[in-house]
Chains A and B, each alone.
Chain A
Amino acid sequence: MHTGRSWPRTEPADQASPVLLAGDLFLVAHQKTRRCEIHSRVLASGLAGSLLAELVLFGNISAKNGVLKVERREPPRDALAHSVLDTMLSQPQHQDLSTWVRFWETSAVDEVAKRLQRRGLVRKAPRWGVRRSRSGWETVGREDVVAAPGLRLAYRLMPYSHGGADPLSSADVMLASLVDLLGLTETVLWDRMTRPAALAELGRVRACLTPNLTEVLEAVSQVKTGQVLAPH
């Protein structure tokens, strides 16, 4: 039987998984056909939340009652997370979590894609035509590598892995929650037979999400719902 550790990862093992959250979500959104399968604004709101969640996981920021607070000014090693924190530090007048989700929504897709591009995992794709990708990017390289985040989630949410293997990390619980929020659950949990049990497990683990990450998830959910409610 496989264990959680045996699944391929998209990053070298010595790097902490929180760094990968936004990249993992990006790869899941492109897992099925190597091109983005959801609306670009939906993906953008999810990635914006992921970037903030990465800082929560690094311990740089916290969120309470919809307000962000910088807890630790020392930047993370990841350049993009560093840049996100730096921007937030330069704009102390903005503390509303939803405002920051909307702000990063404007650039999150390209920023996260460029981070993955530096690892050789994505490349530019046309936005229109037969080969179009809604995000403007497509995944490249070994399929097991680009599909790793989705496979990891699927494996750890499957009923046969509940009793053993690794429990889901906070980052993976957040990833699974965002995957569900963005409507990508069926992409990850492709096996219809085991999907109900996996969804039940997802409901259970999501209830264990830390308050800070729950706040971020709530902000993404609000922004995403607001996109649907607003005429455009």
Chain B
Amino acid sequence: MSTIEFPRPQVGDLVAQTLARDRLGVWAVVFFVLSAAAPFTVVAGVVTTGWAVTGIIALSVAFLVIGVVLMLFSVGYVAMARRIEHAGAFYAYIARGLGRPAGVGAAWVALLSYNALQVGLYGAVGAAAEPVLAMLGVTVPWYLVALMSWALVAVLGVLRVDVNGKVLAGLLVSEIVVIVVFDAANLLHPFEGVMSFAALNPETLANPGVGATFALAVLGFVGFESAATFSEESRDPQRTVPIATYLSVGILMSLYSVSSWAITVVVGPDNVVQAAKDKSVGLIFDLAATHLGATVAGIGSVLFLTSVIAAMISFHNTTGRYIFALGREGVLPRIFGKVWQKTNAPVAGSLAQSVLGLAVILTYAAMGWDPLVQLFFWCGTSGGVGVLLLITTTSVSVLAFFIRERDEENVWQAVIAPVLSCAALLVISACAIANLDVLLGVPGPLRWTPAAGFAGLAVFGIIVGLMLKVWRPEVYERIGAGAKAALTVDASVGVHRAVA
């Protein structure tokens, strides 16, 4: 056979160069993570509603404490991320660290938590759209706005049209700029001319309801874990993912603590709870209108709305991917492992999430329940508590994993940081559960609803995991395998078909 001589490319590593073209650098990963965290939604929505419901001003300090603890947690988390398959999902860490049954339990808790976070945002979007629609001279009930945004999210989810990265980056930068401008204006107009640092005083944490404040603070950081998802898509996973994770947590921590402190400075620490109760999410826009003018406040209102919608899309897609992964692994019915080949979207997971969202909106509209407190705040904080419990269990898993399988990791990564973060997270979780009554504003047994729900789901998941171990060992072996679960499932589908 004649041999055709092809000129050999005089290049270094052609494969690495080609794959690197589409890969993400540190700032690209940071942008994705910050977009998922939706900082403006937290500053304008969570902070003010949190003050109004809990009556505690310690949020600024709580953001600092949680930020530091999450950075400590991230040391072991990103170190372990290099060693597991499905690096963006907490349940994969828990399956590897504490065993697969615990992983299945965590997967169910994660599903409930992310769904709660997503549907909770439908309660905020009405309030976010209100000032924007008012500028247009339109008044629309919250549930119509929620239904319109639901339709948008549902369609984009099935079409897998994520908001364009550059648009997202533009919106995010605008959000951050507006937050910084608002903060500067607030700090330049202190209440009665005195710059108060009361909200930054650690003593404010000495409050019986401080656990509620910690749970709220965690809510602001949800999404930071997704940086590890980008391991395979980053230019240098050993460097990009850890730096992006620390940067994201650091930026969020600074934004949240400074912004919440700045509001207490301009309103006065003693008045901020009442002001939040009176004006709710409109508080920071009223302050902006006073100090910066109606135009800047209007821009802020528009960006708050886009921030809420971007967060909805982000949480919807996260939930859809979670459902898809569990469907592929056989933990959920296989129908959830389906994708729509035209768009490559996890269609069953996306539709399931959308059906839940629609049911929640219609139920709240029919019952006349308050969308901001009883939907946005309750679901948001319940989801936040769920994610806090997941992070805590993951920190225990990281520790357990490195006790058994330590390789190149140094003592700081494998022992010191995981031990410190684990201890801190256990205390914070215990406080949060103990203060659920403050968080939800409901006395009596109802306060335990989220904790009981998560505990029940975790136990159910563990039982399912143990059943899989006995009756379907091939599925059990693949729990937490992520993409690597693919062919086993495909092959078993073939067998099912053959049997059928």
Chain A: residues with CB nearer than 8 A to chain B?
37-39, 41-42, 74-75, 77, 79, 82-83, 86-87, 90-91, 93-94, 99-100, 102-103, 106, 134, 180-184, 196, 199-200, 202-204, 206-207, 214, 217-218, 221-232
B86 to chain A minimum Cβ distance, whole angstroms, is 7
Map CB proximity to A onto B338-372 as digits: 1 under 8 Å, 0 otherwise: 01011111100000000000000000000000000
Q: Take A200-B498, A221-B486, A226-B232 as given contacts and tell me if A74 and B341 are in contact as well, using a CB distance cutoff of 8 Å.
A: no
Do residues A103 and B3 form an inter-chain contact, with CB atoms below 8 A? Answer: no
Do residues B344 and A41 form an inter-chain contact, with CB atoms below 8 A? Answer: yes
Do residues B14 and A221 form an inter-chain contact, with CB atoms below 8 A? Answer: no
In the complex, what distance in Å separates the CA atom of A86 from the CA atom of B9? 10
Chain B residues 311 to 351 lying within 8 A of chain A, measured CB to CB, are 317-318, 321, 324-325, 328, 339, 341-346
Do residues B500 and A224 form an inter-chain contact, with CB atoms below 8 A? Answer: no
Do residues A218 and B341 form an inter-chain contact, with CB atoms below 8 A? Answer: no
Do residues B497 and A79 form an inter-chain contact, with CB atoms below 8 A? Answer: no
**Which of B226, B339, B485, B495 has the most C-beta atoms of chain A within 10 angstroms of its own C-beta?**
B339
Do residues B15 and A99 form an inter-chain contact, with CB atoms below 8 A? Answer: yes
In the complex, what distance in Å separates the CA atom of A17 from the CA atom of B1? 18
In the complex, what distance in Å separates the CA atom of A184 from the CA atom of B373? 47
User: Looking across the interface, which residue of chain A has its beta carbon closest to that of B482?
Assistant: A229
User: Which listed residue, B229, B484, B486, touches A224 by the CB 8 Å rule?
Assistant: B486
B19 interfacial contact with A, CB 8 Å: yes
User: Looking across the interface, which residue of chain A has its beta carbon closest to that of B6?
Assistant: A86
Q: Take A90-B14, A229-B324 as given contacts and tell me if A82 and B6 are in contact as well, using a CB distance cutoff of 8 Å.
A: yes
- Residues of B contacting A206 in the complex (Cβ-Cβ under 8 angstroms): 491, 494
Do residues B32 and A39 form an inter-chain contact, with CB atoms below 8 A? Answer: no
Do residues A225 and B342 form an inter-chain contact, with CB atoms below 8 A? Answer: no
Do residues A184 and B486 form an inter-chain contact, with CB atoms below 8 A? Answer: no
Do residues A106 and B497 form an inter-chain contact, with CB atoms below 8 A? Answer: no
Q: Take A103-B18, A230-B229 as given contacts and tell me if A225 and B328 are in contact as well, using a CB distance cutoff of 8 Å.
A: yes
Q: Take A82-B4, A227-B344, A229-B321 as given contacts and tell me if A102 and B486 are in contact as well, using a CB distance cutoff of 8 Å.
A: no
- Can you sample 24 A-B contacts with CB below 8 Å? A39-B341, A79-B4, A82-B6, A90-B9, A102-B19, A103-B15, A106-B19, A180-B490, A183-B341, A184-B341, A199-B498, A202-B497, A203-B497, A214-B487, A223-B483, A225-B328, A228-B321, A228-B324, A228-B345, A228-B346, A229-B229, A230-B233, A231-B32, A231-B321
B339 to chain A minimum Cβ distance, whole angstroms, is 6
Do residues A199 and B482 form an inter-chain contact, with CB atoms below 8 A? Answer: no
- Residues of B contacting A228 in the complex (Cβ-Cβ under 8 angstroms): 321, 324, 339, 344-346
Q: Take A41-B344, A224-B486 as given contacts and tell me if A229 and B497 are in contact as well, using a CB distance cutoff of 8 Å.
A: no
B448 interfacial contact with A, CB 8 Å: no
- Residues of B contacting A196 in the complex (Cβ-Cβ under 8 angstroms): 497, 500
**Which of B318, B485, B491 has the most C-beta atoms of chain A within 10 angstroms of its own C-beta?**
B491
Q: Take A42-B344, A183-B341, A224-B486 as given contacts and tell me if A204 and B498 are in contact as well, using a CB distance cutoff of 8 Å.
A: yes
User: Looking across the interface, which residue of chain A has its beta carbon closest to that of B496?
Assistant: A203
- Residues of B contacting A221 in the complex (Cβ-Cβ under 8 angstroms): 486-487, 490
In the complex, what distance in Å separates the CA atom of A41 from the CA atom of B3? 33
B33 to chain A minimum Cβ distance, whole angstroms, is 9
Do residues B341 and A222 form an inter-chain contact, with CB atoms below 8 A? Answer: no
Q: Which of the four size classes fits the interface of chain B? A: 35 or more
Chain B residues 215 to 241 lying within 8 A of chain A, measured CB to CB, are 226, 229-230, 232-233
Chain B: residues with CB nearer than 8 A to chain A?
1, 3-4, 6, 8-9, 13-16, 18-19, 21-22, 32, 36, 86, 88, 162, 226, 229-230, 232-233, 317-318, 321, 324-325, 328, 339, 341-346, 482-487, 490-491, 494-498, 500
- Residues of B contacting A231 in the complex (Cβ-Cβ under 8 angstroms): 32, 36, 88, 162, 226, 229-230, 317-318, 321
In the complex, what distance in Å separates the CA atom of A89 from the CA atom of B192? 75
In the complex, what distance in Å separates the CA atom of A222 from the CA atom of B19? 17
- Residues of A contacting B344 in the complex (Cβ-Cβ under 8 angstroms): 39, 41-42, 227-228
User: Looking across the interface, which residue of chain B has its beta carbon closest to that of A219?
Assistant: B487
User: Looking across the interface, which residue of chain B has its beta carbon closest to that of A206?
Assistant: B494
Q: Take A42-B341, A99-B19 as given contacts and tell me if A230 and B487 are in contact as well, using a CB distance cutoff of 8 Å.
A: no
In the complex, what distance in Å separates the CA atom of A229 from the CA atom of B14? 26
- Residues of B contacting A230 in the complex (Cβ-Cβ under 8 angstroms): 229-230, 232-233
- Residues of B contacting A199 in the complex (Cβ-Cβ under 8 angstroms): 497-498, 500
B247 to chain A minimum Cβ distance, whole angstroms, is 17
User: Looking across the interface, which residue of chain A has its beta carbon closest to that of B343?
Assistant: A39
In the complex, what distance in Å separates the CA atom of A94 from the CA atom of B496? 36
In the complex, what distance in Å separates the CA atom of A196 from the CA atom of B498? 9
Do residues B339 and A183 form an inter-chain contact, with CB atoms below 8 A? Answer: yes
Do residues B486 and A218 form an inter-chain contact, with CB atoms below 8 A? Answer: yes
20 more A-B contacts (CB under 8 A) besides A38-B341, A225-B328, A231-B317? A39-B341, A39-B343, A41-B344, A82-B6, A90-B9, A91-B13, A134-B342, A183-B341, A196-B500, A200-B497, A202-B497, A203-B494, A222-B483, A222-B484, A225-B483, A228-B339, A229-B88, A229-B324, A230-B229, A231-B162
